[in-house]
Amino acid sequence: MNIFSPSIVLAAHLAVLSSISFGGFPTVLPDVHNLTAANGWVTDREFANFFAVSQVVPGPNMILMMSFIGLKVGGIAGAIASALATFAPPCAMYFASYTLWDWFRDRPWQRIVRRALAPLTIGLVIAGGYVMARAADTGWPSVAITAAAVALMLRGRTNPLWILIAGGTLGGLGGL
Amino acid sequence: MSQTAATRNPGDRAALTTLFVAFLKVSICGFGGGLVWARRIVVEQTQWMSEQQFAETLTLCQLMPGPNVVGIAVCVGAKLRGAIGAITALAGFILLPWTVGLSLGALVLQYAQLAVLQNILHGLSAAAAGLLIATGIRLLLPHRARPVALLFATLAFAGMVFTKLPLLVVLLTLAPISIAATAFGGVRA
C-alpha cells in the first residue's frame, strides 16, 4: 500500500465502493469513514465537517464530499481523482445497462434481485446516518439536534433545507 | 432557453447545449430532491421522455449502484444523442456545480478552526445525519410487514456499524442469502 500515494489508494477504493453503492452513495459512508480513520487521513471532526459542507452546497453532494477527502489527502489532483472514482464507474454501468435494458427489463430475476437488495441498502443508509451522527457527536446537544432532525423529517412537513439551517443556527448559538 | 427552443424544430434531435443546461438546472435546483426536478424538466418541460419511459429509467437506475439522478442524466443523454449525449448531460450535471462547490467548500473549510464556524458545522452535520437516518427509516416503512426484509436491513446495519467490515464483504455475504431468501421464501407482496 505504501508504494502508492494516498490519493491513488483512496481513488481505487472509492472506485470499488461506487461500483457497489446500490441504493446511493450514503450507503458507503461507513466504509469510507473506516478507511480514512484507519489511515489517519481525516479526523472525525473533519469527516463531519466535509459532510456538513457538502450537504449545504447545491449540486452533486456525495461527489463533493469525496472530493473534500481527496483534497485533504492529495490536493487538487486528489480531489479530481476522488470525484472521477465516485461517478465514472456507475456511469459506465448506467450507460451499458441502458443499452441492454430492453433485454432484461421483463426478466423475473431482476424483480427478485431488486426486492432482495432493497432491505440491504436501507440498512446501509441508516448505518451511514448513524456513523455520521457518531462523527458529529460532541455531547448531548448534538445528539438532541440529530434526534430532532429525525423526528421533523419523519413528520414530513418540513423542507429538509430548513432543518439543516436550524441545526446550523443552533450549533452556532449553542457552541457545541 | 426560449431562444434555443424557438430555433429547434420539435422532434429534432436535442441540441447538446440544451442537454447540458437542462442537467445543470437539475443539479442546481436538486437540493435534497434531484429526482423531482429531473422529472419536471425531462418529462414536463422538454418532453424528452414520456412518463412511462421516465419511470422505467428510474427503475433501471435503482437497480444499479451509484447516485440515481446521475443515472437519469446518463440515460436521458444516451437516449437523445448516444454516448456523446450521455457525457454532455453528465458534464452539465457535474462540471460547474462541482467546481463551484469545491471552491466554496474549500474556502469555508479553511476557516473551520474558527470556533463559531466549527459550531455551525457541528450543528449542520448533526442535523444532516438525522436527515439521513430519517430517510432510511422512511424507506424501511413499506417493508415493515416483512420480517425477512427487517432482518436483512438489521444485518446490513450491524455488519457495517459493529463489525467494521468492508462494504464489499458485507454485500457479498448478505446479498446472495437475501436473494435466495426472496426467491424461495416470499412470493408475497
**DSSP states along chain A:** -TTS-HHHHHHHHHHHHHHT-BT-GGGGHHHHHHHHHHTTSS-HHHHHHHHHHHHHSSS-HHHHHHHHHHHHHHHHHHHHHHHHHHHHHHHHHHHHHHHHHHHHTT-HHHHHHHHHHHHHHHHHHHHHHHHHHHHH--SHHHHHHHHHHHHHHHHT-S-HHHHHHHHHHHHHHHT-
Which residues 151-170 of A have a C-beta within 8 angstroms of B? 151-154, 156, 159-161, 163-164, 166-170
CB A89 within 8 A of CB A18: yes
C-alpha cell at A169: 443556527
Residue A176, min C-alpha distance to chain B (Å): 5
Tens digits of residue pLDDT in B105-149: 999 999 888 888 889 999 999 999 999 899 889 888 888 888 999
B155 and B81 fall within a common domain: no
- Tell me if chain A has a CB within 8 Å of the CB of B149: yes
B157 and B89 fall within a common domain: no
Q: How many helices (H) and strands (E) does chain B have?
A: 8, 0
When pLDDT is cut at 50, 70 and 90, the band that residue B11 belongs to is very low
For range A91-112, the mean pLDDT? 83
B24 and B76 fall within a common domain: yes
Give the pLDDT confidence score for residue A176 in this predicted structure.
61
Q: Is A47 a member of any domain?
A: yes
Residue B109, min C-alpha distance to chain A (Å): 8
B119 and B180 fall within a common domain: no
Give the pLDDT confidence score for residue B26 in this predicted structure.
87
Residue A94, min C-alpha distance to chain B (Å): 6
B135 and B51 fall within a common domain: no
Provide the residue range defining the domain that includes A92: 6-105
Tens digits of residue pLDDT in A15-55: 999 999 887 788 899 999 999 999 999 999 999 999 999 88
Chain A positions in Cβ-Cβ contact with residue B74 (cut-off 8 Å): 91, 94-95, 98
Give the pLDDT confidence score for residue B3 in this predicted structure.
42
B189 and B131 fall within a common domain: no
Q: At how many degrees (to 10) do helices A140-155 and B115-140 cross? A: 40
Chain A positions in Cβ-Cβ contact with residue B178 (cut-off 8 Å): 116-117, 119-120
Provide the residue range defining the domain that includes B30: 1-109
How many structural domains are present in chain B?
3
Q: Is A137 a member of any domain?
A: no
B7 and B75 fall within a common domain: yes
When pLDDT is cut at 50, 70 and 90, the band that residue B7 belongs to is very low
Tens digits of residue pLDDT in A129-155: 999 999 888 888 899 999 999 999 899
Q: Report the residue of B116, B133, B174 to disrupt the A interface, i.e. the one with the largest count of A CBs within 10 Å.
A: B133
B31 and B6 fall within a common domain: yes
What's the ipTM?
Answer: 0.84
Closest CA to A88 of A15, A31, A26: A15
- Tell me if chain A has a CB within 8 Å of the CB of B163: no
